[in-house]
Amino acid sequence: MRNKKTIFITGAASGIGLVAAHHFYQMGYRVGMADVNMPLLKEVTAAWDNRNVRLYSVDVSDFLQVSTAITAFCSEYNKQLSVLLNNAGILEIGAFQDITNEQHQRILSVNIAGVINASQAAFPFLKNNGESTIVNMSSASSDYGVPELASYSASKFAVKALTEALELEWHKFGISVCDVMPPFVATNMLSSQEKSAKVMDRLGANLSAEDVVAVIIKQVKSPKTHRTVSLLYSVMHTLSNASPTFINRRVMKFLSR
């Protein structure tokens, strides 16, 4: 089992996580899939070879659950892990004051603490692998705070910062830490929202989960601290980084009218 590549994916029952799991499964990886929805995990992997996939019921905001699952998975493969994909995330669209405090806290717990929990739990197994990669799901909303997505946007700023810090800290252990930054993606997480943000109405959700996974695969093969998804957003991201903050504010103000 030593030479078998392994990947552990959070939020793996649907959307980007499921598409990623299927791609890596087809590439010959041993795949650990974690999600709060175990019945759905079982349903979507019913036809898969169960020798190559392991399913875990996990709430990523609970460190014990995350640690138990990652340890169980890696223990089958010489306590090593090739790739950790921190994909689990939730979203609530609406005016900040209209979203309950409980939901704001839940967004931060899943989107930020979830990344911290999985990364910390996976560290010894990633280190044991000799050369390994963490891919975090960030977002275009980490470039400038997005109205009607305030907590989600804040969480992705945090993920971006964690990525940058750990990329520097863990390089000496042979662990590459990077993220993927897509704009709005047409997944169930977006389509299930009761409301839409004005910026989404203007820009649209023109990317598929497959588009994002193609970039995730690039990150695994050749890690780069930040990788954007789509040519248009890549240009916008570059301009955003080069522009003064007041210009970026004006652009976001226009998009959110």
Catalytic residues: 152
Does residue 179 contact residue 163 with C-beta atoms inside 8 Å? yes
- 137 Cβ neighbours under 8 A, 6+ residues apart: 16, 85, 86, 87, 89, 159, 179, 180
Classify 32 as helix, strand or coil.
strand
Point out which residues pair with 9 in neighbouring strands.
33, 85
List CB contacts of 124: < 8 A, sequence separation 6 or more: 79
**How many CA atoms within 13 Å lie on the side-chain side of 76?**
17
Widest CA span in the chain: 55
CA distances from 17 to 84, 146, 246, 253 (A): 12, 24, 35, 32
How far apart (Å, rounded) are the C-alpha atoms in residues 32 and 69? 9
Smallest CA-to-CA distance from 15 within 254, 250, 190 is with 190
Collapsed DSSP state (helix, strand, coil) of residue 7: strand
